[in-house]
A and B are shown apart, each in its own frame.
Chain A
Amino acid sequence: MKSPPIVPLPVPSVRAYDTPNDAGGSITVEWELSPVDSVVRMYEVYRLEGSPEAEPVSAGFVLRGTQKFQDNNLKDGETYYYFVRTWVGEEYADSRLSNPAVPSAQWFHTGRKSALVILLIYGGLLFYYLQQARSGKPLYIRKIAGLEAVDEAVGRSTEMGRPILFIPGIGYVSDIPTLAALAILKRVAKKAAEYEAEIIVPNFDPIVMTAAQEVVKEGFMEAGRPDLYNEKNVYFLTADQFGYAAGVDGIMVREKPGAVFLQGVFYAESLILAETGHSIGAIQISGTTSVTQLPFFIAATDYTLIGEEMYAASAYLSRDPLSLSTIKAEDVAKLGFIAVFLIGILLETLAAITGNQALHFFKNWFSLF
């Protein structure tokens, strides 16, 4: 016996509202599922622009079980109405019109308040320690083996009569590790100028090259030897990852540098470069924040600056009180985070044991959406 066809029933209610925490041009439409949702083919959302009498236009569709649709690319300040068409086979039923909704942009993303609070606290710490540094209070920073070895590597290279090769990685000038690498380059260039050694810097990015030229020039000027600066030694190679690796390898085996610095952003070429540097007998000091490349540097180079040690480099090498104050502020922030972890772990453990969901408030406060 053939069962009677199921009649589509409309969704009971439809609500439209401006999508929160966005850059504008978007409305979110929500509805209750149709009573016959299990046999629904799709829900089609229709948009009416300006007035409830306007011509409806299909904004898109979603599959059964879905209760939300985000309509994008709308005009900010314009009023929109919506209805949802429930499709069962080739039959459909329309819902009533939604309330009017007007898309607009929001200045503040309320879902990211935790990031703002952390930034403000860190800013306050930084400001406090800057004031401390300016008042002449001495700030201590522990020894970092990789940075202690910079002078030794430059000196050794000079004694051997070989050039120094500084590889600033394949990052761009907007990458923080590249900026940290440029700070280390300045120190290396200054030492090279003091020892009258040649420094070679092949670059992956033209803007990093320009910045590197400025930094090396400044290092030579600080050492009082601007006459030794040769702009042609800080040059652009290629912006292709493995083309750059092949080129730098060629430079290594032909120029035979006594010291190789691998500092900045590195990807799959890291081991190729570090192994070639090892094969020519150069003392190598590497540093990167790329977690997947650090193991290769640790295995193939003499000293490695791991992650944040690179960021501490400029303060460590210059011993400038203002730069040291940033390290101090970071360290206090780290202790603060450990305290936050311990509070969060305690509350989460209590929540797991007692089943009290309210204790998740602290962890939930850090949610970003």
Chain B
Amino acid sequence: MNVLWTWIAAGLTLAIFSFLYKDNPFYKFAEHIYVGSSAAFWFIYLWYFDIKPKLLDAWVMNTGFEKYILIVPAILSVMMLTRFIPQIAWISRWAIAFTVGMGAGLGITGALQGFLVPQVQATMLPLWEPVSSSTLYNLGHSLNNLLLVLGTITAIFYFYFSREHKGGLGVLSKIGITFIMVAFGASFGYTIMARVSLLIGRIYFLFHDWLHLV
């Protein structure tokens, strides 16, 4: 049975890889199986890991406030289903508005506490910091701090929208976008390395598990 599944997995892997040449019936076949089975999987997943435990089972097991608060998400869910009835489809907007409002509210505090404030604190670095007896080491350390501070401040100027980027602001924003692009370049190389390791994993599956060549 395992051999059969290995052949199916290898066949589907090759069918997906065939897209590198051009769109073809093998790719279409694998793509439709993938999209269809993943959509079905997520439907089952949502039922067993969201709707059943968090709504139905929780309704049976909880008492008092914890039980009756479940009426709110249940009503919002039913509101979403009104989209199937064109005459009252507008009711679904209320559920969407609730989700969007909640997301925006949570996003503000999350971004503030998770990114903004820690970033503000991390940028307050001394431009001269004697951390070692070696002057050369101290110079290197201080230069590193200077680059971090300069990169952060000029990158903020790049995202300043209220004035045209000309003159002094233009110079600062150009330095800022240069820092951003250097960071993106490093990130690009790092991520490509990770993708290559994923490819190696798939090639290894074909040559080891399927063809037994390595």
Instruction: Choose the segment among B1-9, B61-69, B107-115 that binds chain A (4+ C-beta atoms closer than 8 Å).
Output: B107-115
Interface size counted on chain B using CB atoms at 8 A: 67
B16 in contact (CB, < 8 A): yes
Please indicate the chain B residues that have their CB under 8 angstroms from the CB of A312 in the complex: 161
* Given A115-B112, A214-B93, A353-B128, also A240-B187 (CB < 8 A): no
Known: A176-B104, A295-B185. A307 touches B161 (CB 8 A): no
Pair B153/A341 contact, Cβ less than 8 Å: yes
Cα distance A207–B79 when bound, in Å? 12
Minimum CB–CB distance for B25 against chain A, Å: 12
Residue among A174, A176, A247 making CB contact with B99, cutoff 8 Å: A174
A39 within 8 A of B: no
Determine if B168 is an interface residue (Cβ-Cβ < 8 Å): no
**C-alpha gap A277/B28 in the complex (Å):** 17
Query: Which of A139, A334, A352 is in CB contact (< 8 Å) with B159?
Result: A334
Q: Kindly provide the distance from the CB of A234 to the nearest chain B CB, expressed in whole angstroms.
A: 12
Interface string of B164-206 (1 = CB under 8 A from A): 1100000000000000110111011001000100000000000
The size of the chain A interface, using a CB distance under 8 A, is 72
Q: Smallest CB-CB separation from B93: which chain A residue?
A: A214
Q: How far is the CA of A294 from the CA of B111 in the complex (A)?
A: 19
**Residue B130 at the chain A interface, CB threshold 8 Å:** yes
The CA-CA distance from A280 to B170 in the complex, in Å, is: 36
A79 at the interface (CB under 8 A from B): no
Tell me what chain B mostly uses at the interface: helix, strand, loop, or mixed.
helix
Which of B37, B111, B124, B163 has its CB near the most chain A CB atoms (within 10 A)?
B124
Q: Which residues of B lie under 8 Å from residue A6 when comparing CB positions?
A: none
Cα separation A213 to B139 with both chains bound (whole Å): 58
Which residues of A, 298-313, contact B by the 8 Å Cβ criterion?
298-299, 306-309, 312
Q: Are A142 and B39 in contact (CB under 8 A)?
A: no
Residue interface mask A332-369, B partner, CB < 8 A = 1 = 00110110110011011101110000000011001110
Closest CB in chain B relative to A365 CB, distance in Å: 9
Q: Does A112 contact B (CB under 8 A)?
A: yes
B31, B80, B107: the one within 8 Å of A176 (CB): B107
CA distance A289 to B158 in the complex (A): 15
Q: Which residues of A contact B36 (CB under 8 A)?
A: 238
**Would you call B162 an interface residue if the criterion is a C-beta within 8 Å of the partner chain's C-beta atoms?**
yes
Chain B contacts for A363, CB-based, 8 A: 121, 124
The yes or no answer to A152 lying at the interface (CB within 8 A) is no
- Residue B149 lies at the interface, judged by CB distance under 8 Å to chain A: yes
A246-B100 contact, Cβ under 8 Å, with A291-B187, A295-B187, A331-B161:
no
Q: Are B103 and A175 in contact (CB under 8 A)?
A: yes
B-contact 0/1 string along A58-102, CB 8 Å cutoff: 000000000000000000000000000000000000000000000
Chain B residue nearest in CB terms to A309? B159
B47 within 8 Å of A (CB atoms): no
Most buried by B among A115, A175, A243: A243
- Name 26 A/B residue pairs within 8 A (Cβ), A-sorted: A118-B117, A140-B163, A176-B107, A210-B92, A238-B36, A240-B35, A244-B35, A246-B16, A246-B31, A246-B35, A247-B35, A250-B27, A253-B23, A294-B184, A295-B187, A295-B191, A296-B188, A306-B180, A327-B161, A337-B120, A341-B123, A344-B123, A344-B124, A345-B125, A347-B124, A368-B117
Given contacts A118-B112, A295-B188, 6 further A-B contacts (CB under 8 A): A115-B116, A173-B96, A174-B103, A295-B185, A312-B161, A368-B117
Residue ranges of A at the interface with B (Cβ–Cβ < 8 Å)? 112, 114-115, 118-119, 139-144, 172-176, 179, 207, 210-211, 214, 236-240, 242-244, 246-247, 249-250, 253-254, 268, 271, 291-292, 294-296, 298-299, 306-309, 312, 327-328, 330-331, 334-335, 337-338, 340-341, 344-345, 347-349, 351-353, 362-363, 366-368
